[in-house]
Amino acid sequence: MRAICLVAPGLLTMAGLAAQPAMAVGRLADVTIVDRDTGETLKTHQYRGEYWVAGRPGARYAISIRSQSGARLLAVTSVDGVNVVTGEDAAANQRGYLFDPWVGYRIDGWRKNNSEVAAFTFTAVPGSYAALTGRPRNIGVIGVALFPERQPEPPPVSVLREESDGRLASAEPREDAAAERSRSAGDSASKSNSAPAAAQALGTGHGAREYSYVVNMPFERARARPDETIRIRYDSRENLVALGVIRPARPPRHSPDPFPASASLGYVPDP
């Protein structure tokens, strides 16, 4: 249940962030995808129960996470089925980024060490990091598994009750046996593996290295399973239009003008 997590000094407070995007995904945290080259937050499209964003081939992008919780959160984050911190096939019980209450952070790339990342870039599938490392099966999906921190158990408190003869007796609170069994079962529960996403025409490349400083911090999950798992799929705009995720833009309708050359003072010429 304990894990070593990453925390970036100087995480932004909610007051220092822009207004919440209308299509942010998540309950414990708002997750959005940002085109770093334009600064635009990509619009999230809902289609058949899933969230999608359209990426521009060649553009750098970031995963923006903003905590909406009053407790510390661990965000285990994956791209194309690969943990963005460790490079392993992603699983919810791995390392991630630690968020203090009501703060936000932008994950700009694959973590190389405590001071560098390799930028996320939208690229063709063959050039994606997952494909280059022999793992093309889950290309086209971004995942964030959110874990609240385990809170310390309150110390036992003695309470007083009045006996029938007027004496005061001390009683210690007891944990219900069924609740104890339920908690034990929850602690030993295994992680749930989600179904793999189909390969997409757009994947995430391993871009240039950039400065990004973090430190290691201990963290204890409240439960073995994440309280929330966020899944965002992505592809090029053209492919999302072809899939029906995005409706194609309608060409402007031409309105015929009965007098297109009303300023003319001539006469009808021969054909």
pLDDT in tens, 47-58: 999 999 999 999
Residue carrying the six token digits 């110390």: 155
Give the pLDDT confidence score for residue 77 in this predicted structure: 97
Given a cut of 70, whether residue 107 has pLDDT beyond it is yes
Cβ atoms within 10 Å, residue 34: 21
The span from the CA of 144 to the CA of 46, in Å, is 17
Cβ atoms within 10 Å, residue 139: 26
Dihedral angle sign, alpha carbons of residues 125, 130, 135, 139: negative
Residue carrying the six token digits 């015929």: 256
Give the pLDDT confidence score for residue 2 in this predicted structure: 55
Most confidently modeled range among 2-6, 79-83, 196-200? 79-83
**Higher-confidence residue: 214 or 61?**
61
The pair of three-digit structure tokens given for residue 226, joined into one six-digit string: 């994440």
Contact 144, 229 (CB under 8 A): yes
Contact 106, 67 (CB under 8 A): no
Q: What are phi and psi of 28, to 5 degrees?
A: -75, -25
Q: How confident is the model at residue 255 (pLDDT cuts 50, 70, 90)?
A: confident
Given a cut of 50, whether residue 194 has pLDDT beyond it is no
pLDDT in tens, 56-101: 999 999 999 999 999 999 999 999 999 999 999 999 999 999 999 9
Given a cut of 70, whether residue 15 has pLDDT beyond it is no
Give the pLDDT confidence score for residue 165 in this predicted structure: 54
Dihedral angle sign, alpha carbons of residues 116, 33, 219, 130: negative
Query: What number is the average pLDDT over the span 229-246?
Result: 95
Give the pLDDT confidence score for residue 263 in this predicted structure: 60
Give the pLDDT confidence score for residue 176 in this predicted structure: 43
Contact 21, 12 (CB under 8 A): no
Give the pLDDT confidence score for residue 13 in this predicted structure: 46
Contact 36, 122 (CB under 8 A): no
Given a cut of 70, whether residue 252 has pLDDT beyond it is yes
pLDDT in tens, 151-173: 887 777 766 555 555 444 433 44
